[in-house]
Structure 1
Amino acid sequence: MSTVAKGASVAAAAGIAAVFAVAFLEVPGDPPVHAFPTVGVLMANGEHWCTASVVDSPEGNVVATAAHCVAPAGKDGQPGEVAHDGLAIGELAFAPAFSGEGSGTQPLGVWKVRSVHVDERWTKWGDDTADFAFLTIAPDSDGRSVQQAVGGRGEAPLPDWTSGYDRDVTVIGYPESEHNPQNKPVSCTTQTRHDEDDPDMLYISCAGFWTGTSGSPWIADRGGPGHPGRLIGVLSGGNTDVDSTAALFDERAKALYDRAARG
């Protein structure tokens, strides 16, 4: 399988498998309850093109996504050209629990990205096994961290740097508006395995992960509220909406995470 990035500028083919849109439950007089409050979209100038998610960190200021969502792939040791989406279209921000038609709503706010941390294996060589990034998120005007806003340490998954390839995971992402006009996240729980064409990559088969789902978190051992599980990777590619791949987090991913956590 040739891996195709699922950012906003890349189309994906149709497929058939189980996937569902995540509903936000609302009780009169209470704030809405979000099934996956830590997951949202990367935005600039009101547009969104990739998925990202809060990962547990000491200061509550780290978000994970795919490297190709925030930095061009390098080639032969040289940096790649900046794409016409992502950072090229304006100041980068993160909107957790995003939903709604058109420009949508941001029930948990829009959070400024302070810095981006990407492995040089990606920025110089375009190595798919390094297609992950960690973003440092600035606090809001009240001094809150993004992790506090999405529910605190009981909601954000812990990062896992030593995971094996066979795990039960829940993957959550935001397809492009063409296939998802209400901008609702889709979710699938399934088992990972080695990708047949690139055994160094994780693979799942779940329909509905169209363009826009790049950066979707792959969360193992998730048990619902209060049991957020462990983040083992983020969606990086796949040549249809059914086939999706991810680079398994490793010690180099941990080094990027540690840099982002320090701000």
Structure 2
Amino acid sequence: MRTRSPRSSTRARPRARSTAALSALLGLLVVGCAPAVTGDAVAGAKNSSIGAPISTDTVSLRHDYDSTPQEVNDYWTDERRGDAEGRDPSPGDGRADGGTDQPDGLDGRPDPATGVVVHPTSGAVSPDGPQLPDSDAGDVFDATGLAESTQGRLYVSFPDGDYVCSGTVVSAAGRNVVATAAHCLWDFTGDAGWGAMVLFVPDDADDMASAPYGYWSAEAAFGPQEFADLAKIADDGSITGEGWAYDFAFLTMAPDDSGQEIQDVTGGQGITFGTPTEELVVIGYPSAPPFDGRSQRYCSSSRYFTSLRGAFGIDCAMTQGSSGGGWLTDYDPQSGSGYLVATTSFGASGSMGGIPLGASALQLYTDAGGL
């Protein structure tokens, strides 16, 4: 069954960059002076002045995983994979939207837009015509090209059980970066902290019975300090706190047995950190009824609304397990490539919210070796 298994990594882990160095790098990126950015970095991009970041001592929270790739593989037995539950919080009762269509921007966006664009490994995307017809049903995703290889299912263990989410391999200098939601990796029980035994399976089908692009264990996670400090889950399972406006994270994956990085095998989707967004295609692995988590599903929309805490919102029937899945704009159905602009954070009453990526997400991506 195993087509490619990750190996233990002996490479040195990069040191965290100083806050001053990161601030200087971010300044270069915003004005388009960093040669590592494959696309256009535009100063003063549309919506870049909306909102202000939450003030904390640090932006990036890093965690290095102790388990070896073999230990991670051994942990995820057939039984554990089959019993893992979707990890999606609820915004509370009612529809998760602010009631206003916002096709041109996000009011109250807390993570400022930067205008930085990184193209997918397949090259710049300029799709002709619509991405996909509008659909809110969570139909099976007929993935092609990069959409097939880069979208996958994320398995994470917590003290209270095993869970599943979704994720996306994004184009990165380190060739080993997966984007997901912070809550997919964060343990809200007890003293709080990080989950363990993190495994990512691109194009997972039938609970890893089909894994054409192999199994990849995480070496490190990079999440926002704002999320760790300020995101809470109430006793009824609903989300509370300003930290949910920063529900995004990045993983670096261990190389496989042959030394290849995950991007060498799957390619990488494009990613933007605050650029004008129009049509959206949302992909994930919903696991709660009427879905079973055994196949990729999608929703698409030519219009979105402003949801809670400045999130993108669309009508979508997908359920738990979709969290962390990619929100793509400029999606090209032929090549399966597009630009990741958000990751799924929450859902309720037939709608879903995705937290848009901005300046804080760019810093996390940089810390993870994206640039």
Deviation at residue 163 of structure 1 after TM alignment: 2.0
Determine whether 1:62 maps to 2:173. no
Output one character per residue of 1:44-85: Cα deviation in whole Å (capped at 9) or x when no partner. 47x6510011011012110000000001469xxxx9635xxx
Query: Does the residue aligned with 2:154 lie in a helix, a strand or coil?
Result: strand
Is residue 192–residue 203 contact of structure 1 (8 Å, CA) maintained in 2? no
Determine whether 1:138 maps to 2:138. no
Alignment of 1:165-184 (within 5 A): 166-176=277-287, 178-181=289-292, 183-184=294-295
Is residue 152–residue 204 contact of structure 2 (8 Å, CA) maintained in 1? yes
Deviation at residue 228 of structure 1 after TM alignment: 1.3
Distance 2:292 2:336 in 1: 31
> Hey, what does 2:320 align to over in structure 1?
211
> Hey, what does 1:255 align to over in structure 2?
363
Is residue 136–residue 299 contact of structure 2 (8 Å, CA) maintained in 1? no
Among candidates 65, 87, 93, match of residue 8 of structure 1? 87
170-179 vs 114-123, which moves further? 170-179
Query: Does the residue aligned with 1:109 lie in a helix, a strand or coil?
Result: coil
Query: Does the residue aligned with 1:118 lie in a helix, a strand or coil?
Result: strand
Among candidates 293, 299, 311, match of residue 201 of structure 1? 311
Is residue 88–residue 347 contact of structure 2 (8 Å, CA) maintained in 1? no
Report the TM-score, using the length of structure 2 for normalisation: 0.56
Deviation at residue 221 of structure 1 after TM alignment: 0.4
Query: Does the residue aligned with 1:257 lie in a helix, a strand or coil?
Result: helix
Output one character per residue of 1:172-211: Cα deviation in whole Å (capped at 9) or x when no partner. 100116433361010122135342554x21111122x100
Output one character per residue of 1:201-227: Cα deviation in whole Å (capped at 9) or x when no partner. 1111122x1000000100110113546
Output one character per residue of 1:111-142: Cα deviation in whole Å (capped at 9) or x when no partner. 01000000011000111110000001111111
Distance 1:197 1:181 in 2: 27
Distance 1:109 1:195 in 2: 37
> Hey, what does 1:28 align to over in structure 2?
none
> Hey, what does 2:226 align to over in structure 1?
121
Among candidates 216, 225, 241, match of residue 111 of structure 1? 216
Determine whether 1:81 maps to 2:192. yes
> Hey, what does 1:3 align to over in structure 2?
none
1:256–1:176: structure 2 CA closer, same or farther, 3 Å change rule?
A: same
> Hey, what does 2:77 align to over in structure 1?
none
Query: Does the residue aligned with 1:234 lie in a helix, a strand or coil?
Result: strand
Output one character per residue of 1:214-253: Cα deviation in whole Å (capped at 9) or x when no partner. 001001101135461111010001223x211111100110
Larger radius of gyration: 2
RMSD over aligned CA atoms reads 3.2
Distance 1:179 1:98 in 2: 19
1:24–1:257: structure 2 CA closer, same or farther, 3 Å change rule?
A: closer
Is residue 90–residue 346 contact of structure 2 (8 Å, CA) maintained in 1? no
Distance 1:35 1:255 in 2: 25
Distance 1:122 1:132 in 2: 9
> Hey, what does 2:23 align to over in structure 1?
none
> Hey, what does 1:94 align to over in structure 2?
200
> Hey, what does 2:132 align to over in structure 1?
none
Distance 1:22 1:201 in 2: 23
> Hey, what does 1:159 align to over in structure 2?
271
Structure 2 residues without counterparts, runs of 5 or longer: 1-84, 96-134, 232-242
Structure 1 residues without counterparts, runs of 5 or longer: 1-5, 26-32
Is residue 8–residue 176 contact of structure 1 (8 Å, CA) maintained in 2? no
Is residue 192–residue 202 contact of structure 1 (8 Å, CA) maintained in 2? no
